[in-house]
Structure 1
Amino acid sequence: MKRPAAAVLLLAASLTACAGDGEEPPSLTAPAVFYLRPQGDKAGVRDKMPYELKAEDGDEPGVRMLAADVPKGARDTVVIRKYGGCKGSSAHVTCEVDGDYSNWADAPRAKVVAAEGAKVGDSAVVTYTYITKDGEKLTARTRFVVGEPVVEALAPEYEKDGPRPGAELTDSVVVRNTGEVPVRGLGLELSASNGGFAEKYSNCRYPGFSRGYRAVCEFPGLTIGPGQTVTFRPAIRLRTKKSDMYVSYGKDVWALDMGPGHYDTYPKGGDFGDGPKLEVTKASGATRGAFVEGGGSTYVVLDSYADYEVSDVLLTGEPGDERTFEIKVRNHGPADADAAADVVFSPPFGMTVVKQPMEEYDDGVYQEYCESNGYAYTCAVGDLKPGGSRSFEFTVTLGDPGEGFLSLEDAAGTSPWDVGRRDPDPDNDEAVIRVEGEG
């Protein structure tokens, strides 16, 4: 759930004092600033937090009144459109509402839009008045600005051939404003996988639940003009671990008075870092990568591999005998390649599978784990850590003596950075399942 922009709430002191014990006093909240597209312009910020006006006056039945007013000197900048039974003009609208009002959920609305001919950068303060069931007047004001700041961050390029595991990665934070009006205050979230940050900025918060892998930084005094680009220093420093094969990191940016978007959020709380201060400098030199609205993330594939092995299986018995055995897969490392492999079991001629691995997909409800084409069985190995192993148990009835096959195959990748295991020893990716008579 998105947090709205900062709200202006003006309440009379006497109203708060009159509230009963345990009863919340009436309230009216609205954003302090809201940006409008020029009349007829459908462009602008994606995933924008909609304007939110809320009034609270208990749950007792009865009509409350809500009014919206545009001052005389601003009527060529913004106008009001009325919906849901509201009445009035383009400069003054009244609506009958209830004690739990939200313009997101309720039909009566006084929607402010840019007036025809309003220029980018023009602004107007609209006053909202809410009259409670007891006749008290609450007011809230929003400055509506024509035009929007559009914040973009330089997303790092995907790297398929990165450094060796254990090396340190560095990257700069570069931000630009491609909107029509200045960014006044910037929010920044940094994220890192696996090894996390090598140093933590003293003016950024590191929420405890994220284990130091996320940082939130706010720059309320920063202004970025339309077309302006800024760079933050010092550069981000990211750790990698010896077991890493993939490392991801990202940067999300937003204008503080707009919030990070309608369907996004960022963590609250956390301690400040003990490293250098993250500060703004002028952008200089060439930049690699593409600017992405709101920021972006990338993967680095490190110069490593994962040596997987599947073991031979020997079964003894006569045709018709039932045997239970395990197919064992090991990761000899050194890397964690995520869910990179499937094991394929092709039974010897005459062998019949009577029981195979199962998985619980609902409470107490199971299904077959491996996929079968009527002969071979393909089982996803899943995430296998270096030094770890996984076994798949089958029960079969034997046929005549003979051999079947076990093989490891790269799982189907779904991302451009998925390079599989880069297994350096393909010979131990294949094994046999042999059936011998007891004599």
Structure 2
Amino acid sequence: MVVLVLGVPAGLLGCSALSGTSRPELDVPFVFYVSRGPEGDPESRFGIREQSGEQGSGRYTVAFDATDLRGVAVLKTGQDDCPVRLPTFRCGGELVDRRHGGSGQSFRVSPADGAEAGDSAVLRYRLTSPGLPSVTASTRIVIGKPALAVETRADRVGVTPGGRVAVSLTLRNTGDVPARGVSLFISTRDGLRMAGKHRNCRYRGTTSAWCRLPADDVVIPPGASYHLAAPEAFTLADDATYPTVTFEAAGLGADYVPPEETASQYASGQGSALRYLPGAGQDDGKDAGAPHATGESAAHLQLAVRSTSDLVALAGTARGPVGSRADVRVGVRNDGPGALPAKVRVEFTVPAGTTVVSSPYDPERDEEVIDQVCRALAADGSPLAEASVRQPSARRYVCTAQAGKAGATTTFPFTLRIDKETAHRGGRVTVADGDSHHPSNDPKTANDSADVAVSVWPGPAWATPGLWATAGIALGVFVLVGALATWRRRRAR
């Protein structure tokens, strides 16, 4: 979608020395690509938006001159409040405060009969508003679209926590027109950081980069490949286990441009310039089995790190007299040394002589039809209820936890009713990997299970641990008040 913006952007707000009026500005993309062919969208959405600065500035009129589009592209009405009457037409409305999203119109554009890939024409705009200077702008409409396929490869099979790795990048234009300039987003997660910062890229910390190289720096013809002049270097955190880097590329004009409030969070680097060279790049000297990834517009490369995560089962103790209700928590702790950005399966077998009266339940998940974190299971392991609803009482439950960083703990609350005084056996918590693609490589399996104990003491059902705790606090307060009163009486003598 092409966006036409009228406004006084942050940093451009000001007054004319002669007239004292605000100076509006049109901000439009320099190019709009129209997909063609059986696999392309036969009609592309074309939108414009007008905005004022901090407050509305009355009515506006936008004059469109589509004379140059004849034989190249067809512009059609997208909504009734701005009908298209070629070759020139006008649209108008009230300027709306940018804080409320502005006002706008939308159109549809498709290739004209006989138009071929690479044909182009210019659509011109002229905006006028009473009391403000007129503003002109234009967008080049191009038939066809560049499409950059992405291929990445690490320089080695395995890396160690705290180490370094270099990743090569190759872009191939699978579209039908040249990519005149290239936009590249690089983002990392789960313990991977960029080792350097190019001066022609903008960065948000060490995990996100945005590089827009103009046509003067790189043009990729259809069918051609270009690669980075030097692989991108990254460092790994000490607890990295499954770090990932994503490369997303597009030709300028077909790329995503973040809004100003997001773009302003990026700062320019100071290192060597990022450059592209013709060709698919050389893999000489690289391990053929090294991790690699490809994608139509983005590639997600996950590295293999020689690290492990020790998963530890956590089991509480239910305490109280027969007939009482006792809270118990079960879960998992990641004892590291590696972080584990993956799900972990926590299975809870209920102790004999007790009944589950409450299990984890989130009403918002139920309303949004999202799986509850814990599911009730039958003896054969099949679910007893739909995943999003409140789970019934059962003898087995399976919960899903996120292992997280080393030292992270996740527990789930259950309430048990102690039905009878007996040998409360069979209560157990067992943890295991929940994602076969991200195993923990747990080095200590002995602590993957833990017993859930039940401690029964004599007394009525209401004599719960919570009651005794409350009584103890009350007694302590009573003793303190009595001591304070005695001290005051002695001072008064």
For the aligned pair, the TM-score class normalised by the smaller chain equals 0.7 to 0.9
Q: Which has the higher contact order (CA 8 A, sep 6+)?
A: 1
Q: Which residue of the partner structure matches residue 225 of structure 1?
A: 221
CA distance in structure 1 between the aligned counterparts of 2:376 and 2:314, rounded to whole angstroms:
21
Name the aligned partner's letter for residue 427 of structure 2.
Answer: F
CA deviation profile, 1:288-326 (whole Å, cap 9, x unmatched): 856423222132242322222236767788754665555
Under a length normalisation based on structure 2, what TM-score does the superposition of the two structures give? Answer: 0.67
CA distance in structure 1 between the aligned counterparts of 2:442 and 2:265, rounded to whole angstroms:
43
Indicate yes or no: 2:380 matched with 1:371.
no
Name the aligned partner's letter for residue 410 of structure 1.
Answer: A
- Residues 319 and 398, structure 1, Cα contact 8 Å, conserved in 2: yes
CA distance in structure 1 between the aligned counterparts of 2:132 and 2:339, rounded to whole angstroms:
66
Name the aligned partner's letter for residue 213 of structure 1.
Answer: T
CA separation of 1:162/1:417 partners in 2, compared to 1, >3 Å: closer, same or farther?
farther
Indicate yes or no: 2:173 matched with 1:173.
no
Question: How does 1:38-49 map onto structure 2 within 5 Å?
Answer: 38=36, 41-44=37-40
Q: Which residue of the partner structure matches residue 230 of structure 2?
A: 234
- Residues 336 and 385, structure 1, Cα contact 8 Å, conserved in 2: yes
Indicate yes or no: 2:117 matched with 1:120.
yes
Q: Which of the residues 294, 304, 309 maps onto 2:307?
A: 304
- Residues 309 and 331, structure 1, Cα contact 8 Å, conserved in 2: yes
Q: Which residue of the partner structure matches residue 445 of structure 2?
A: 426
Indicate yes or no: 2:209 matched with 1:215.
yes
Secondary structure of residue in 2 paired with 1:348? coil
Question: How does 1:8-157 map onto structure 2 within 5 Å?
Answer: 24=22, 30-38=28-36, 41-44=37-40, 50-55=45-50, 60=58, 64=61, 66-71=63-68, 75-81=70-76, 84=80, 86=83, 88-89=85-86, 92-100=87-95, 105-106=104-105, 113-130=110-127, 132=129, 138-156=135-153
CA distance in structure 2 between the aligned counterparts of 1:43 and 1:326, rounded to whole angstroms:
54
Deviation at 1:266, TM superposition (A): 7.1
- Residues 184 and 212, structure 2, Cα contact 8 Å, conserved in 1: yes
CA deviation profile, 1:333-365 (whole Å, cap 9, x unmatched): 222223532332323322234555676859xxx
CA distance in structure 1 between the aligned counterparts of 2:264 and 2:323, rounded to whole angstroms:
64
- Residues 301 and 417, structure 1, Cα contact 8 Å, conserved in 2: no
Deviation at 1:156, TM superposition (A): 4.8
CA separation of 1:293/1:131 partners in 2, compared to 1, >3 Å: closer, same or farther?
same
Q: Which piece of structure 1 moves more, 283-292 or 345-354?
A: 283-292
Q: Which residue of the partner structure matches residue 249 of structure 2?
A: 253
Name the aligned partner's letter for residue 116 of structure 2.
Answer: K
Under a length normalisation based on structure 1, what TM-score does the superposition of the two structures give? Answer: 0.74
Deviation at 1:398, TM superposition (A): 5.4
Q: Tell me which protein shows more helix as a share of its residues.
A: 2
CA deviation profile, 1:81-108 (whole Å, cap 9, x unmatched): 456474644xx1324532449999547x
Q: Which of the residues 428, 448, 464 maps onto 1:406?
A: 428
CA deviation profile, 1:61-80 (whole Å, cap 9, x unmatched): 6x946342314xx6333444
Question: How does 1:294-333 map onto structure 2 within 5 Å?
Answer: 294-310=297-313, 319-320=322-323, 325-327=328-330, 329-333=332-336
CA separation of 1:403/1:213 partners in 2, compared to 1, >3 Å: closer, same or farther?
same
CA deviation profile, 1:117-158 (whole Å, cap 9, x unmatched): 22322222233345546798654322222222222221459x
CA distance in structure 1 between the aligned counterparts of 2:91 and 2:410, rounded to whole angstroms:
65
Q: Which residue of the partner structure matches residue 267 of structure 2?
A: 271
Deviation at 1:229, TM superposition (A): 0.9
CA distance in structure 2 between the aligned counterparts of 1:275 and 1:201, rounded to whole angstroms:
5
Secondary structure of residue in 2 paired with 1:333? strand
CA distance in structure 1 between the aligned counterparts of 2:229 and 2:239, rounded to whole angstroms:
29
Indicate yes or no: 2:252 matched with 1:244.
no
Question: How does 1:383-394 map onto structure 2 within 5 Å?
Answer: 383-392=403-412, 394=414
CA distance in structure 2 between the aligned counterparts of 1:392 and 1:131, rounded to whole angstroms:
62
Q: Percent identity of the aligned residues?
A: 23
CA separation of 1:243/1:5 partners in 2, compared to 1, >3 Å: closer, same or farther?
farther
Secondary structure of residue in 1 paired with 2:402? coil
CA separation of 1:344/1:31 partners in 2, compared to 1, >3 Å: closer, same or farther?
closer
CA distance in structure 1 between the aligned counterparts of 2:402 and 2:413, rounded to whole angstroms:
15
CA distance in structure 2 between the aligned counterparts of 1:278 and 1:65, rounded to whole angstroms:
40
Q: Which piece of structure 1 moves more, 309-318 or 381-390?
A: 309-318
Deviation at 1:231, TM superposition (A): 0.9
- Residues 153 and 295, structure 1, Cα contact 8 Å, conserved in 2: yes
CA distance in structure 1 between the aligned counterparts of 2:410 and 2:146, rounded to whole angstroms:
52
Deviation at 1:249, TM superposition (A): 0.6
Q: Which residue of the partner structure matches residue 481 of structure 2?
A: none
Instruction: Output the aligned Cα RMSD.
Output: 4.4
Q: Which of the residues 182, 187, 198 maps onto 2:183?
A: 187
Deviation at 1:329, TM superposition (A): 3.8
CA separation of 1:19/1:59 partners in 2, compared to 1, >3 Å: closer, same or farther?
farther
- Residues 253 and 260, structure 1, Cα contact 8 Å, conserved in 2: no
CA distance in structure 2 between the aligned counterparts of 1:96 and 1:200, rounded to whole angstroms:
45
CA distance in structure 1 between the aligned counterparts of 2:271 and 2:58, rounded to whole angstroms:
54
Secondary structure of residue in 1 paired with 2:192? coil
Gaps of 5+ in 1: 10-15
Q: Which residue of the partner structure matches residue 12 of structure 1?
A: none
- Residues 345 and 378, structure 1, Cα contact 8 Å, conserved in 2: yes
